[in-house]
């Protein structure tokens, strides 16, 4: 299923539960090497309304794989619950990772800022591509890759935050 069709399917299945659906992650950045897995971010008003969310995803052909939280960047002073998310995978078809986050959460902003910064800055995109390639070559499992990538992403996000401040960037 193509990206636009997948997003439209989720919007239709979730109805008013989905405040927005965004393409995020490496595949959302033109020219950035990425594995063949699309990352989508679905924003809902509250994650606490779990049953209707899970039912809607189930009807769309997705299963809940994790109910936890995202990596919390070093220096975060707030509650860990602010980084809560649900993680869904399609039961069939092209692999996709669907991250469901609450509106206004720091992880909603983090994913969008990561994408928009790399889309806007060719040098940063090239540096990140090099980091990802070196990391992929130095790790043997997906978990190890993710564990080692998180602090490197936090470093990238320092520059992204400076870019956001200098440009007045805000999530759309």
In a domain, 172, yes or no: no
Dig out the tokens for 97 from the structure.
Answer: 């990772």
Averaged pLDDT for residues 108-133? 96
* Amino acid 136: pLDDT: 92
**What's the gap between Cα 98 and its chain centre?**
8
* Amino acid 12: pLDDT: 94
Averaged pLDDT for residues 158-164? 97
* Amino acid 34: pLDDT: 85
2-56 per-position pLDDT tens digit = 778 889 999 999 999 999 999 999 999 999 988 888 999 999 999 988 999 999 9
In a domain, 107, yes or no: yes
* Amino acid 33: pLDDT: 86
Identify the CATH number of the domain in which residue 147 sits: 3.30.460.10
Residue 31 half-sphere exposure toward CB, CA atoms < 13 A: 12
Domain extent for 107:
3-167
Tell me the C-alpha distance between 44 and 64, whole Å.
15
Instruction: Report the share of the chain in percent with pLDDT over 70.
Output: 99
* Amino acid 172: pLDDT: 80
In a domain, 11, yes or no: yes
User: Are 157 and 114 spatial neighbours (Cβ–Cβ below 8 Å)?
Assistant: yes
- Burial label for 114, CB within 10 Å (0-12, 13-18, 19+), is buried
137-160 per-position pLDDT tens digit = 999 998 899 899 999 999 999 999
Q: Is the pTM of this model over 0.85?
A: yes
The pLDDT of residue 94 is above 80? no
Tell me the C-alpha distance between 112 and 96, whole Å.
17
Q: Where are the alpha helices (DSSP H) in the chain?
A: 3-14, 50-59, 106-120, 122-138, 142-167
In a domain, 163, yes or no: yes
Instruction: Report the share of the chain in percent with pLDDT over 90.
Output: 85
65-93 per-position pLDDT tens digit = 999 999 999 889 999 999 999 999 999 87
Query: What separation, in Å, do the N-terminal and C-terminal C-alpha atoms of the chain show?
Result: 25
* Amino acid 1: pLDDT: 59
Count of domains observed in the chain = 1
In a domain, 14, yes or no: yes
The secondary element (H helix, E strand) that includes residue 88 is strand 84-90
129 contact partners, CB below 8 Å, separation of at least 6: 32, 33
* Amino acid 65: pLDDT: 95
- Say if strands 62-69 and 96-102 run parallel, antiparallel, or are unpaired: unpaired
User: Are 81 and 69 spatial neighbours (Cβ–Cβ below 8 Å)?
Assistant: yes
């Amino acid at each position: 299923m193509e990206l636009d069709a997948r997003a439209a399917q989720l919007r239709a299945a979730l109805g008013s539960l989905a405040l927005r659906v965004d393409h995020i992650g490496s595949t959302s950045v033109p020219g950035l090497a990425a594995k063949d897995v699309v990352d989508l971010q679905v924003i809902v008003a509250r994650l606490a309304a779990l049953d209707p969310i899970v039912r809607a995803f189930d009807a769309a052909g997705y299963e809940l794989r994790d109910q936890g939280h995202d990596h919390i960047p070093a220096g975060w002073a707030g509650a860990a619950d602010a980084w809560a998310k649900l993680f869904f995978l399609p039961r069939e078809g092209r692999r996709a990772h669907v991250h469901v986050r609450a509106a206004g959460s720091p992880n909603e902003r983090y994913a969008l800022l990561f994408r928009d910064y790399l889309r806007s800055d060719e040098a940063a995109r090239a540096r990140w591509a090099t980091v990802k390639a070196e990391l992929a070559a130095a790790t043997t499992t997906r978990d190890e890759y993710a564990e080692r990538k998180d602090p490197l992403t936090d470093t990238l996000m320092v520059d992204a935050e400076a870019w956001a401040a200098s440009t007045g960037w805000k999530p759309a």
